[in-house]
Amino acid sequence: VNITFNDVAGLTEAKQEVMEIVDFLKNPKKYTNLGGKIPKGALLVGSPGTGKTLLAKAVAGEAQVPFFSLSGSDFVEMFVGVGASRVRDLFKQAKDKAPCIIFIDEIDAIGRARGKGNMMGGNDERENTLNQLLVEMDGFGTDTGIIIMAATNRADVLDNALLRPGRFDRQIYVDMPDINERKEIFNVHLKPIKLEDNIDINFLAKQTPGFSGADIANLCNEAALIAARKGHESVTKQDFLDAVDRIIGGLEKKNKIITKEEKRAIAFHEAGHATVSWLLPHAHPLIKVTIVPRGQSLGAAWYLPEERSITTTEQILDEMCATMGGRAAEKITFNKISTGALSDLEKVTKQAYAMVSMYGLNDKIGNISYYDSRGQESFTKPYSEATARIIDEEASKIIEEQYARALQILADNQENLGKLADKLLTSEVIFKEDLEEIFGKRPFDKEDIELLAENVPAEDLSVTAPAEINPNPESNSKEIES
């Protein structure tokens, strides 16, 4: 393996953890002389594309030891005993080549908790394979120099026996890159690309919240392809912006027939989101707004989520109000509403029900949570029909209050709303700077929302977190449905 830690951009905390594993392999006596034991295994946990496999290869490259790499599905066969046999063979080879690293990617393919999902009641070959893996991990001492690394994005489904100390001693979380780490990743992937002179990597990092390392690699490649398609001699800033739109929103629908009235309605809808979010203290900072049809959407507003360990009632309500800004703008401007707010309504409904029934943020229901952390489906609800009626009423009341609040904000700023919508109709894409021209600098922004010092975490751009997990399902992109 020729990969070292220098080839791994970002992942600062995860790299620090695995560097210790390298030191274990290089200088075992440093730890054993003090009575310490070398950890047998490390589990890399993180979303797809964050660099778990790359990190494991870098460990082997730095330690200069043999690297056995397999996927969890390699052990799964239709023939009885094959999976367990492969596990035995793998560990036999590893003992012969020690010190070495065994890396099992997607370990949830064989490491899933036993006794679940086996509806037929028969013998599960996957369980035999897991049992053999558990035996082998117990079967060698800490002085053999074999370290097992595994990667998964579903640590919650793994068998508890696999996660106990003595098997996978450490769980290392590989998070999505923050803005500084995205800059480092861009620096790596832009090396082979012929760039225009004025490309600003800071700007690219700001435009890509929620992008994993793999997403950024794909973005750089997509920008190069777009530049080649246009006949450019080098990749320009606009090529990167087009690539971001292509990846997040899908293909541009150039042939989609939209009437002038529809386009105007879309512009005011998106301008409504932008205006309300700009004027609320807890709404996320805006990155850009577009009314170019892409994929299933006719327009979108993209935001940069702030780092929050906990979310207050005021923050959730401001987010809901900003989400209802699109429909409120339609009502204020045209005195009618459309079906374009489907995804907005879905989002605020989840947030409202989460506030009332899960997080105890409602005075009428009180400090009670009906959230089942085990995630087990049930045919019965843990509350009465009377309580269910109150939950429905309170959730509806919260949504209507935030809709009325959005209407009032837009009524007070109707002239600026019109200016923003007109600018959208003219240029089709507007950025934060365009809003500053109309509204002035946003008073609630922390010292320069460039956030280079704040390490705002990236969040998934395409998937809204379900209300069961997050009271504030945040998506960096907000779409108006076609």
Q: Which residues are catalytic?
A: 270
Q: What is the C-alpha to C-alpha distance for residues 54 and 122, in angstroms, rounded to an integer? A: 38
Q: What is the C-alpha to C-alpha distance for residues 105 and 72, in angstroms, rounded to an integer? A: 6
Counting every residue written for the chain, the total comes to 482
Q: What is the C-alpha to C-alpha distance for residues 331 and 311, in angstroms, rounded to an integer? A: 30
C-alpha to C-alpha distances, 446 to 130, 206, 301, 432, 451, nearest whole angstrom: 50, 15, 21, 14, 8
Count CB-CB contacts under 10 A for residue 451: 21
Q: Can you tell me whether residue 264 is helix, strand or coil?
A: helix
Q: Starting at the edge strand that comes first in sequence, how are the strands of the sheet with 146-152 ordered?
A: 67-71, 100-105, 146-152, 41-45, 170-173
Concatenating the DSSP letter of every residue in 205-240 gives HHT-TT--HHHHHHHHHHHHHHHHHHT-SSB-HHHH
Q: What ranges in 190-324 are assigned the alpha helix state H?
A: 201-206, 213-230, 237-249, 260-279, 313-323
CB of 277 closer than 8 Å to CB of 303: yes
The alpha carbon dihedral of 181, 184, 190, 195 has a sign of positive
CB of 105 closer than 8 Å to CB of 53: yes
Q: What is the C-alpha to C-alpha distance for residues 56 and 289, in angstroms, rounded to an integer? A: 39
Q: Which two tokens stand for residue 388?
A: 């269910």
CB of 395 closer than 8 Å to CB of 356: yes
Tell me the chain's radius of gyration from C-alpha atoms.
Answer: 26
Three-state secondary structure of 366-420: CCCCCCCCCCCCCCCCCCCHHHHHHHHHHHHHHHHHHHHHHHHHHHHCHHHHHHH
**Which uninterrupted H or E stretch holds 481?**
strand 477-481
Q: What is the C-alpha to C-alpha distance for residues 114 and 134, in angstroms, rounded to an integer? A: 12
Residue 208: partners with Cβ closer than 8 Å, 6 or more residues away: 182, 215, 216, 219, 244, 458
